[in-house]
Amino acid sequence: MKAIGMGHYHMFAIQEDDTAVGWGRNNTGQIDIPGDLGPVQAICGGVYHSLALLPDGTVRAWGRNSEGQCEVPPGLS
């Protein structure tokens, strides 16, 4: 394991191959890691959403988006 991250009721680990795994509460898809996510440098979660930093500097978000928390601003890196 390379790193760990957590949300409110869910956790993540980045494995040696840079893939992420999640566990814990998943009532809004916050641990349903996108299949096309690819390698991850860092990962964390909020209460009902999660975010990953990718090697190219981009940020991906998934889970509940009721307040726009998964709408990553364009050009953010």
pLDDT digits (tens, 9 = 90+) for 3-16: 999 999 999 999 99
The residue to which tokens 């999640």 are assigned: 22
pLDDT for position 46: 97
Q: Which residues have CB under 8 Å from 51's CB, separation 6+?
A: 43, 44, 45, 59, 60, 61, 72
The residue to which tokens 């916050």 are assigned: 30
User: pLDDT tens for residues 15-55?
Assistant: 999 999 999 999 999 999 999 999 999 999 999 999 999 99
Predicted TM-score (pTM) of the model is 0.92
Looking only at the bridges linking them, the beta strands covering 42-45 and 20-24 are: unpaired
Report how far residue 77's alpha carbon sits from residue 49's, in angstroms, rounded to the nearest whole number: 19
